[in-house]
Chain A
Amino acid sequence: MSKKQILFGLAFGAVVLCLPPFLKNYGVYMFTTWLIYVIATMGLNLTVGYAGQKSLGHAAFFGIGAYTVAILMKAGFSWWLGLPAAIALCFVLGVVLGFPALRVQTIYLAFATLGFNTAVWLVMRNEEWLTGGTFGLNGIARPEIFGYSLKDGLPYYYFVLAIAAIAMGLMWGLLRSPWGKAFQALRDNPIRAESLGIDTRNYTLLSFAIGAAYAGIAGVLFASLVDFIEPAPFAVGASIMMYLMVVVGGSGYFLGPLIGALVGMVVPDWIRDVFPILSNWYLPLFGGTVVLMMIWLPDGLMSLPDRIRAKRESKLASAKRADAKSEMAAVMGEQK
């Protein structure tokens, strides 16, 4: 790691640790929401950005996580049982959703996962006996940790921050291990990967399952944050938004989700707050920005430093070429 990166990291750590106590309740709420979406999109970044599996069903897992903890707590179980149950259920369903990916790819896979999301959403909406239908489920309490209540906004924020940090650390370790390379090989060229002994079947299924498990964690934290869940935040539109966050942040960049979730979740609210006049214009602005970005920065915001570096290098190279050319011309001139 370079000095610059360490400084950035320290500054970032200081902001997420020290800023929230100075914010109003709503600010803390937004910070917490941001971290929850960071966890969810980190999982999607593994599936889409690293393993190259175009999934448009991520919000379904987010919802399955939220409903799992809500339903279990309604039945009298502890939050601390709800969390692992949600992770396990999402992991298993992630494997199941991975199977279509073994047969279809790219846009066809996107449609298949979209269908899955719709089916899950319909269950949430129609199976009232289980999910409360459009009325939703309420009274999802926040957990206690070692007897310490996380009911207030700020303690819950730090709890989510700790979980996000652990989730990021685990993801970093996974991507650094040989698995990370295998996922990228699968993304870049599955046929070649298989000819090199990489079990593309297992890695495809696992990229879905691990991504889904991350969405499950985020869903559990989300349910406890908002205290009331209904099907709307887990519809197809939410999946598309999450995909957009991954792409805007930088698909296949480890820190992409941090920026993507910020742009997708926090900035709209902040703009509404600071420039109320713009609030009606946010969506068209956001949409327009995405279109422009896809043209000029298709690899997302995190690719910006790479871009600048590449530009500088090519400038240096062409300057060198120009020097060589003029030297050459000088030599040729002398020879005449």
Chain B
Amino acid sequence: MTAPILKVNGLKKAYGAIQAVGGVSFEVMPGEIFGVIGPNGSGKTTLFNSMLGQITPDEGSIELNGKDVSKCGPLELNRRGVGRTFQTLQVFGKMTVRDNLIVAAQEHKGTMLSRMFAPSDSGLGDRADALIKRFRIEHVAHLKAGTLSYGQQKLVDIAMAFMSEPDLVLLDEPCAGVNPSLVGGISTLLKDLNQNPHSGKKSSFVVIEHNMDFVMDLCHRIMVMVEGQVMAVGTPAEIRANKQVLDAYLGA
């Protein structure tokens, strides 16, 4: 029995009288793609922000590889192997695509002082080029990221999260605002990165997404949240067949 990479235990967070997350527990296994779905206001984002160190939960614990990280900020979590993408575009607009990727991993190498004397690409040029190729953005690699189309920037954004070869990647609505024709491409890419990351080790993902087809196709297990509580956890097939979920959320 392998140990879970991420273990969330009895997580609670309230904003005033509103209990955004009311005691959520789940585990993510190494190499697993874990989806979180639920209607607006069900607490997904609060849960996500707690896991990312953006907000401190009121109660409960978050363990990464068996170590408590409930008190860690975003910087510390990233250094411990958690990558993330954002719901809205968050690239470095005035830097080239290639530099965006390099800067996404350079701080994982050496110390601040040694980086002052490190080569311009921190020795990450090959890794960046490999990801650029994998994401099929070679033709725009030399352009400033802010000049790209929305879909291309989204790809850069996702690629950046993988540059530091994280153990766990949290994807916040990777398909939001993306042209439907690109959604399939993102799904394929993510499966590919999960199965066979460039480092040879498996990454685990936690995905929040509203696009049901995408989630059902991509995830190994799915957690349904409603009003800050876990309604169900299971494989896509189980979730599809769950009467309660159908009534509350899928509505089909």
Contacts and interface: CB of A to CB of B under 8 A. Distances in A.
Interface of A: 174, 176-182, 184-185, 187-189, 191-200, 202, 252
A200 B90 CA distance: 16
Given A177-B120, A192-B86, 12 more contacts: A176-B120, A178-B103, A178-B116, A180-B120, A181-B102, A182-B103, A184-B95, A185-B92, A185-B95, A193-B103, A195-B52, A196-B78
B91 A202 contact: no
Query: Which applies to chain B's interface (DSSP): helix, strand, loop or mixed?
Result: loop
For A176, A180, A192, A193, the residue with the greatest tally of chain B CB atoms inside 10 Å of its CB is A192
Interface in B69-126: 73-75, 78-79, 84, 86, 90-95, 99, 102-108, 112, 115-120, 122
A179 B106 CA distance: 9
B90 A192 contact: yes
A193 B100 CA distance: 10
A179 B109 CA distance: 12
Contacts of B73: 194
A54 to B, nearest CB: 16
A188 B145 CA distance: 11
Interface in B145-173: 160, 163-164
A192 B103 CA distance: 11
A179 B84 contact: no
Given A194-B74, A196-B164, A182 B95 contact: no
Given A185-B92, A188-B92, A198 B107 contact: yes
Contacts of A198: 75, 103, 107
A178 B78 contact: no
B104 A196 contact: yes
Nearest to A175: B120
Contacts of B79: 197
A202 B94 contact: no
A178 B120 contact: yes
Contacts of A180: 120
How many residues of B sit at the interface, in one of the four size bands?
20 to 34
A252 B93 CA distance: 13
Contacts of B115: 177-179, 182
19 contacts: A177-B115, A178-B102, A178-B116, A181-B99, A182-B103, A182-B106, A184-B92, A184-B95, A188-B93, A189-B91, A192-B92, A195-B75, A195-B84, A196-B78, A196-B104, A196-B105, A198-B75, A199-B107, A202-B112
A169 to B, nearest CB: 14
For A174, A184, A185, A200, the residue with the greatest tally of chain B CB atoms inside 10 Å of its CB is A185
B115 to A, nearest CB: 4
Contact of B116 (A179, A189, A195, A197): A179
Contacts of B99: 181, 184
Given A176-B120, A177-B117, A178-B120, A194 B94 contact: no
A178 B93 CA distance: 17
B93 to A, nearest CB: 5
A197 B112 contact: no
For B78, B94, B103, the residue with the greatest tally of chain A CB atoms inside 10 Å of its CB is B103
Interface in B188-211: none
Contacts of A187: 94
A49 B11 CA distance: 42
B112 A196 contact: no
B78 A197 contact: yes
Nearest to A195: B74
Contacts of A182: 103, 106-107, 115
Contacts of B103: 178, 181-182, 184-185, 193, 196, 198
Given A181-B102, A182-B107, A196-B103, A174 B116 contact: yes
Contacts of B117: 177
Contacts of A181: 95, 99, 102-103, 106
B92 A195 contact: no
A175 B84 CA distance: 27
A197 B86 contact: no
A177 B95 contact: no
Nearest to A199: B75
Nearest to A184: B95
A40 to B, nearest CB: 22
B107 A196 contact: yes
Contact of A188 (B84, B95, B118): B95
Nearest to B81: A197
Contacts of A193: 92, 103
